[in-house]
Chains A and B, each alone.
Chain A
């Protein structure tokens, strides 16, 4: 590969570029998620466009370099959406590129609806990728129930381009909801988790449970209009014991709250280290107390976003708790060091999928 930056438009070009690579390659989609350290020539995946969209089968097949905006626009035209509601990190990380769907999968980015509809990796039903030798591999397919062979699609999701470079992705979709409402409880972050757990433990099919500065604890329901009104009312009863409750029934106003949480809007333009913790939700209050700083909560408290003073040794603070921490901005390492036996398995997988060690070396491990 030539020095500098290279953009590929087809899977064949991608395979050739990797086969011919003489050294490390930094794989990039829209460049909006610069997490971890990577070295080498920039390889931009520009394989773009919808290969297949069958609304009646809730199925989308799309080039990995297609922008998230294009994917969402195509789906919205049919009243459908990606179940996992991925956020955009460009603004908070000071990047002006356009997030691509391949980047979303590489980082396994899942937003508030993860508590109801699963993670990005749960909606990913098929993948085509080029491994570190330049071989094209397909796994999964375009049907939502498929146990034929090992599930490498899961392995690719969240592998940050370190096992292979994705060229095409298939997703299971969800119908959009004509109505939504958000129940807000006036609570500090440290007191939110028990209220969110009560909501998530109710039968009212909650599709988001988080905390934002301002509205406080927020709980979302989506669906048909009468059903949303009914469930929002019942959740008001469930949540009243925890604090002063208000209900936002306006679709746009409710959606705006979740976009703020999803895209980390309250942190945009603010200095500090940016951390993400995935923990058992009930551990959130104690961890929050120890972290300090500014926070946002998602996934019922199981996902903590924290903006901390520069140089905070956040991983050490979180060490007593089950889960993992990722540093999006700040002193490395970006990814949670794995226990030795798991690290050995990961190293073994990388060695076999990328024997030359050229794909995003140093980014993850």
Chain B
């Protein structure tokens, strides 16, 4: 991270006093023992104590805090639940964390117009929790959904297992209340479709907290399908599983999820969760939705397609318990890996057609670097999650793991994909951006930040390579 501003560090007492004067007394934390909880997010290999932490309860308090910090020229790192795997809410010593955890209320539920309006610190799962009793749900379901906040989902444009059918956050976001770095409160979008002018909402979503602080969000909600049922299909080669995915998509069936696990991942989860998975090279979990008869119709078609690829196993769930067991291993995959070793989770996306080639080359890279890689990912949309296993206590292992990770992400870009499908760039992939983008591509993106945050105070040393943003950050 860039060298912190000595001048800001020296003025800490004065800055904290001004924040205290503008906010309720319990909204400002500056005791290092208490701010330690904010020193990292889920990319916990990187840590740094912030200057202070502000925990507002209302949009007005967010605006008041930002007015003070803007006037003082202090950097701000917005934070939802701190579950970023990319270091999106990692602080710097000279930055104040603006945490939204206290803003978690449901403000409005409207089934006629099919939306819910929430404060952005509310967790993803509790959005659905507020409406599922009435038969509705909020579709994006990142695997951290129990903990992650809507503000972070909007910042990172989070996805999940079911985006093949329902899309990612940006496709389910109708409007936001955005507080700019200058402390202005803007209403963008609302309970109607599309923008009257430029699609500002579209560029705010996924801007990693660099354009403004989202304090409220209007989210599209959907009636729950009548039912859902998964099947498990095992294959003796990754290539064949990849071909089966392609054929399912071509056939015109649109499952809500197609998940893929390779042999290292199957073995590890089997040892951990005992889901009863077959011992094979690759398996797919395919889930479809609808009434029982509709599910039968879709699964019949999927069974026909799978049969052409000579699967070693085709397991249909006959009841909820069996469906649960099919999902058990997949949902335990990350936990299982954590039992074996430390791991780093990558997030590159590739064209689905490149799947066999990319898996083969990840295998080659894994051997070259001497680190095991397990693959578990959303196959329908090509969003890979290679898990690189390493030992944090072995000197040099983390560095080797990061070097392997960078090679895998470069491979994703080389075959026509991207560095990150749903986790975001943060600090983790910041300096790889030049692999995917030319200088003028990054320049165009940075111009947007210039407009929203001319002094580059919001989450400044993220997303863009430090060298590319140096002049703008005044570094």
Contact = CB atoms under 8 A, between A and B. Distances in A.
Interface stretch (A96-104, A136-144, A255-263): A136-144
A323 B246 CA distance: 40
B437 A149 contact: yes
B223 to A, nearest CB: 5
Interface stretch (B65-73, B247-255, B259-267, B367-375): B247-255
A152 B190 contact: no
A139 B444 contact: yes
B422 interface: yes
Nearest to B436: A148
B193 interface: yes
Given A143-B349, A149-B445, A159 B198 contact: yes
Given A154-B170, A224-B298, A145 B421 contact: yes
Interface in B434-466: 436-438, 440-445, 447-452, 463
A151 to B, nearest CB: 5
Interface in A328-359: 335-336, 338-339, 341-343, 345-346, 348-349, 352-353
Given A138-B438, A141-B417, A349-B448, A56 B253 contact: no
Contacts of B254: 174-175
B223 A155 contact: no
Contacts of A339: 187
Of A174, A178, A194, A230, chain B has the most CB atoms within 10 Å of the CB of A230
Interface residues of A, number: 87
B192 interface: yes
A151 B190 contact: no
Q: Main SS of the interface on chain A?
A: mixed
Contacts of B170: 122, 151, 154
B225 A338 contact: no
B225 A155 contact: no
Given A147-B206, A202-B223, A348-B451, A56 B198 contact: no
Given A136-B440, A323-B192, A349-B451, A56 B252 contact: no
A143 B421 contact: yes
Interface stretch (B120-128, B306-314, B377-385): B377-385
A146 B444 contact: no
B111 interface: yes
Given A178-B252, A349-B451, A322 B349 contact: no
Contacts of B444: 131, 135, 137, 139, 152, 353
Interface string A106-119: 00101000100011
Given A121-B199, A230-B293, A279-B192, A149 B421 contact: no
B112 to A, nearest CB: 5
A91 B108 CA distance: 41
A145 B425 contact: no
A201 B249 contact: no
Of B192, B203, B441, chain A has the most CB atoms within 10 Å of the CB of B192
B410 to A, nearest CB: 13
B202 A157 contact: yes
B281 to A, nearest CB: 21
A163 interface: yes
A79 interface: yes
Interface string B72-108: 0000000000000000000000000000000000000
Given A57-B353, A139-B444, A197 B202 contact: no
Contacts of B171: 118, 122
A149 B451 contact: no
Contact of A281 (B112, B349, B381, B425): B112
A205 B225 contact: yes
A227 interface: yes
Nearest to A277: B192
B247 to A, nearest CB: 7
A226 interface: yes
A205 B420 CA distance: 30
A108 B207 CA distance: 21
12 contacts: A56-B249, A56-B353, A57-B352, A118-B171, A122-B167, A141-B416, A141-B417, A143-B349, A145-B381, A147-B421, A155-B200, A349-B198
Given A57-B353, A144-B349, 20 more contacts: A59-B351, A108-B199, A135-B440, A137-B440, A141-B417, A143-B349, A145-B422, A148-B425, A148-B429, A154-B203, A155-B448, A157-B199, A159-B198, A201-B111, A224-B301, A280-B190, A322-B191, A323-B192, A335-B196, A338-B197
Leading 3 A-B pairs by shortest Cβ distance: A154-B202, A324-B196, A336-B196
